[in-house]
Each structure stands twice: as C-alpha cells, then as structure tokens.
C-alpha cells in the first residue's frame, strides 16, 4: 500500500543518535537533510556520549549513527523508545522515506535493525 498525499501531510519524528567525530554520522545528517527538503519531519539529535540518559549510550555507543522513526504525537511531549523503527550506519534517502511511510501507516517494520 502506498500512502496518498493526504497521509504524507502527517509528520514523523526522526531521532538521530550520533557522537562526535563520526564520519558516518555526518553522512547520515546529509541524508536526513535531503529527506527533509522533500518531506519535513520533527527532528531530535542525541549525542550518545553526552546524553544524560545512560540507556542510549549503552544501546548505541558502538553503533552510531542510528535513526529512530516514529509517528509524531501531536501536542504531547515525546521521546523515542528502543522499539521504534530503526536504520543503522549507512542508509539511503529512500530507506528513510520507507520507514516514514510505515510509521505514518503504523505498519510493522521489515527494515528494522537492532
């Protein structure tokens, strides 16, 4: 099933887990920037080495970059969970957009890596 234009108007939230001096993280930011130009989304960035929540460091210290793609929750404070749809390391724009489509339709992810 392909989302209609009406479905594409709903925002997704993408959380990028990153760290300093990470070339793959810089590449991931560029991919996300290109996706943003076509399909804006809510964005959060977490440096796993500096974040106050130790669980993200424990989960992704050696695996950055990772993105979590969730359906945006309107009017609510939001934080992602370990069960979110994920892409890790090297990913392409079409893969991000596919996860955004799945999040908006609330379908289970077949691209999830964790």
**Which residue segments constitute the domains of the chain, with CATH numbers given?**
10-74+81-105 (3.40.30.10)
The answer to whether the beta carbons of residues 19 and 49 sit under 8 Å apart is: yes
Q: What is the pLDDT of residue 38?
A: 94
Mean pLDDT of the region 86-111: 83
Mean pLDDT of the region 38-53: 90
pLDDT at residue 94 tops 90: yes
The answer to whether the beta carbons of residues 16 and 69 sit under 8 Å apart is: no
Return the higher-pLDDT residue of 79 and 4.
79
Rounded CA gap, 91 and 111, in Å?
11
Q: What is the pLDDT of residue 77?
A: 59
Q: What is the pLDDT of residue 76?
A: 56
Q: Is the overall model pTM greater than 0.85, yes or no?
A: no
Q: What is the pLDDT of residue 97?
A: 94
For residue 59, give the DSSP letter: H
Q: Would you give the distance in Å from CA 75 to the centre of its chain?
A: 19
pLDDT at residue 45 tops 90: yes
Confidence of residue 107 (pLDDT cuts 50, 70, 90): low
């Amino acid at each position: 099933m392909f989302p209609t234009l009406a479905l594409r108007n709903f925002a997704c939230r993408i959380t990028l887990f990153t760290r300093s001096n990470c070339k793959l993280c810089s590449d991931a930011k560029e991919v996300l920037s290109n996706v943003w130009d076509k399909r804006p989304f809510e964005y959060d960035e977490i440096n796993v080495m500096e974040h106050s929540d130790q669980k993200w460091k424990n989960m992704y210290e050696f695996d950055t970059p990772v993105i979590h793609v969730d359906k945006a929750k309107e009017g609510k404070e939001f934080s992602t969970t370990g069960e979110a749809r994920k892409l890790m390391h090297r990913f392409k724009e079409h893969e991000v957009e596919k996860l955004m489509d799945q999040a908006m339709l609330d379908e289970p992810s077949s691209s999830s890596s964790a």
